[in-house]
Chains A and B, each alone.
Chain A
Amino acid sequence: MSQTPTYRVSHLDALEAESIFVMREVVAEFERPALLFSGGKDSIVMLRLAEKAFAPARIPFPVMHVDTGHNFPEVLEYRDRRVAQLGLNLVVASVPEAIESGLVREPADGTRNRIQTPVLLAAQEKYRFDALFGGARRDEEKARAKERVYSFRDDFGQWDPKNQRPELWSLYNGRHQPGESIRVFPLSNWTELDIWRYIARERIELPSIYYAHDRDVVVRDGMLYAVNEYLHARDGEEIVTKRVRYRTVGDASLTAAVESDADTVEKVIAEVAATRLTERGATRGDDRVSEASMEDRKREGYF
């Protein structure tokens, strides 16, 4: 066997090759795949991988944004620009419209994370998407650590963690009945640090909120929440200006920032490499509900 160093494959190259394989597999086997694109760093990386998988042809599927209506303007602007650059077809599944039409009800606390799921499922049904690419990673959360690359979902989009299909080698089973679908996670084996190293290596542009900037925040539950039209300071909370960045980008009423001076990708990598908190633990109010909140949401059809 040859041991020439030319046959070396770095871990990022191996992850990239695996993700590209998965995306090509889905396009070859499904009728109507779509990619869930939020303008967050994971779906941005996923979009880059899709570009690479089908070059020189265009990405052969639409992208869908499940829009809670609680957006960071920088992220929406980025989303529209990127979609135009790549000549993609964008489908917006709008939570505000779904509240308007009575499909879902606005929860008393104003957070829209849980009601995203029915909106996603309604859009999936409307456009008959039989496979949805999601940017979820197994390192994010303990229920996600149990996910397959192809996550089978029943007619209601539900995940049954005790009854998952075995998934051997790189032989993915995407067969399903009409109405059922598959969520596909090409980034399953990527970590937060891998994502950032790839962003650096590929020189991928991100929404500016991923880098350090000054923002008015309140401290709540030990986390820093930006004060904006979706989140107001409560009695006794003091609004302070801090230098922050976002580790994850989700619903603007739920996603917290972290204090940071990292204003370049290299500084972010150094910070992520040294952090002692997971990205969700540090920034996501929605995962703090209970020990199994992610598992429960996934069972309902969340990604």
Chain B
Amino acid sequence: MTAPAPAPVADESRTVDLLRFATAGSVDDGKSTLIGRLLYDTKSLFTDQLEAVEAVSAARGDEYTNLALLTDGLRAEREQGITIDVAYRYFSTPRRKFIIADTPGHIQYTRNMVTGASTADLALILVDARKGLVEQSRRHAFLCSLLRVPHLVLCVNKMDLVDWDQAVYERIADEFTSFAAKLDAPDLSVVPISALHGDNIVTRSEKSPWYDGPSLLHHLERVHIASDRNLVDVRFPVQYVIRPQSTTVTDYRGYAGQVASGVLKPGDDVMVLPSGLTSKIASIDTADGPVAQAFPPMSVTVRLEDEIDISRGDMICRPHNQPTPAQDIEAMICWMDESRPLTVGGKYAIKHTTRTARAVVRGLQYQIDVNTLHRNEGATELRLNEIGRVRLRTTVPLLADEYRRNRTTGGFILIDETTNRTVGAGIIREAG
């Protein structure tokens, strides 16, 4: 290949890491203003985007430039002034690159918020300082804890409208902290901000001398996420078997996949599930040559020393640290189908790691009220956006871990076999 490009510059492409965060809060809490502010202050907002928003705002007779138009990309959203679905936004600083999943706040779009939170390293929950915590703030915190978003940041916004009163901020922070304690929420921070005026967003504001924490961006840039990965339990779901049919490469058999957790090295003893056969890692290949180790989220190709029968849906792990092959699964399910509820006896396709099977609902222990956390034990079905604890039986064993230990091997989706729609998201509590 003739390469006009000279040797790669020693730029940040090797050093800057990636943080995915979800934003939650209603339109009135200033979520779009906050996102607009972050994009604007990091110079990630483009002139033509801003001009388009200004023009539309003016045409609609808005009194100010409506930054929500930046994030609400669908005509229906702009017409109704609400966020229906997740929008993804991108910005970066010299330290980090960010992906924002801007999620809808309304309860009828809970499933879309769950979608955005499922891959987030961090979630921002916005509240209006004048209103304090509302039902929605608690619901968002609950959903974030259910999906084990490792870091939560409560942004107490519109502090300018309460004259930067420390007492107001403390009251909201205390109330949220005690609520979060019930949730088994991981790392929690609270920041007083004014998204509209940019206080405590990029730099610390002198309006809150009583606040000794970092600005929001400073926190986003430095929050430690490397340890959120599970580097202990080796889990390598096999995606695809690479067997070149060529005269130059002969007898190559590699198992392609993305490391879900743990660290793999050549020479390691491994066990393949569900067969239980053991072997050693001969090499870990990439298109750029073999590597000395593989860890999440690397996509690699593993070759073993022995010829054993392995196919998509199998999992490579360590002989003394394995997931539980289980056909009986206890899980929290978020139901996402508007046409039909989840019922006991319902049969669905289930997708877990790279393995697809069928599942039947054996029992529904309770439905949980996402606003009060009250457990309704008499529930007989789960309707759209409802969450409940369910017992499933699958046609083949899933190679499962508890979700709290492993977001990749602990999550699954349910698919309606008639409509092919994704109807449920599952979070494994117990496999056995």
Contacts and interface: CB of A to CB of B under 8 A. Distances in A.
Interface string A238-269: 00000000000000000000000000111001
A1 B227 contact: yes
A6 B341 CA distance: 47
B52 A291 contact: yes
Nearest to A190: B90
Among A24, A52, A266, max chain B CB count under 10 A is at A24
Interface string B307-328: 0000010000000000000000
A219 interface: no
Given A7-B231, A8-B226, A10-B16, A264 B6 contact: yes
Contact of B86 (A8, A146, A170, A198): A146
Contacts of A67: none
B243 interface: yes
A292 interface: yes
A193 to B, nearest CB: 8
B108 interface: no
A198 B246 CA distance: 29
A49 B74 CA distance: 30
Interface stretch (B26-34, B372-380, B415-423): B415-423
Interface stretch (A33-41, A106-114, A124-132, A135-143): A135-143
B278 interface: no
B85 A171 contact: no
Contacts of A237: none
B88 A21 contact: no
Contacts of B4: 205-206, 211
A289 interface: no
B252 interface: yes
A296 to B, nearest CB: 8
A290 B408 CA distance: 41
A158 interface: no
Contacts of A170: 119, 258, 408
B351 A291 contact: no
B181 interface: no
A118 B7 CA distance: 42
A191 B288 CA distance: 23
Interface in B207-244: 226-227, 229, 231-232, 239-240, 242-244
B88 to A, nearest CB: 5
B73 interface: yes
Interface string A165-201: 1111111010111000000000011010110011111
A89 interface: no
Contacts of B112: 166
A291 B55 CA distance: 10
A171 B412 contact: yes
Given A11-B16, A12-B13, A168 B46 contact: no
A122 interface: no
Interface string B276-310: 00000000011110000101011101000000000
Nearest to A82: B1
A266 B13 CA distance: 13
Interface string B174-216: 0000000000000000000000000000000000000000000
Contact of A199 (B5, B72, B349): B5
A278 interface: yes
A189 B52 CA distance: 23
Contact of A166 (B114, B242, B249): B114
Given A24-B239, A24-B240, A51-B287, A166 B336 contact: yes
A14 interface: yes
A141 B338 CA distance: 29
A175 B239 contact: no
B295 A139 contact: no
A3 B226 contact: yes
B56 interface: yes
A73 interface: no
Contacts of B240: 24, 27-28
Interface stretch (A54-62, A95-103, A225-233): A54-62
Interface string B354-387: 1000000000000000000000000000000000
B3 interface: yes
A277 B47 contact: yes
B66 to A, nearest CB: 13
Interface in A63-99: 85
B111 interface: yes
Interface residues of B, number: 91
Contacts of A141: 73
A99 to B, nearest CB: 30
B162 interface: no
Given A56-B244, A173-B422, A7 B88 contact: no
B9 A85 contact: no
Contacts of B1: 85, 205
A30 to B, nearest CB: 12
B420 A161 contact: no
Contact of B75 (A1, A58, A295): A295
A139 B90 contact: yes
B115 A168 contact: yes
A294 B336 CA distance: 27
B63 interface: no
A171 B52 contact: no
A18 B297 contact: yes
A52 B286 contact: yes
Contacts of A234: none
A169 B299 contact: no
B11 A14 contact: no
A19 B232 CA distance: 25
Contact of B17 (A9, A28, A53, A85): A9
17 contacts: A3-B226, A3-B227, A10-B14, A17-B258, A141-B73, A145-B73, A146-B73, A162-B84, A168-B422, A169-B411, A175-B420, A204-B5, A205-B2, A265-B5, A269-B9, A269-B11, A282-B48
Given A15-B18, A189-B88, A203-B8, 12 more contacts: A14-B18, A21-B257, A55-B287, A57-B246, A138-B88, A145-B73, A146-B87, A167-B115, A169-B118, A204-B3, A277-B47, A278-B46
Interface of A: 1-3, 6-18, 20-21, 24-25, 27-28, 51-58, 85, 138-139, 141-146, 161-162, 164-171, 173, 175-177, 188-189, 191, 193-194, 197-206, 211, 264-266, 269, 275-278, 281-282, 291-292, 295
Q: Closest 4 CB pairs between A and B?
A: A281-B48, A142-B73, A57-B244, A52-B287
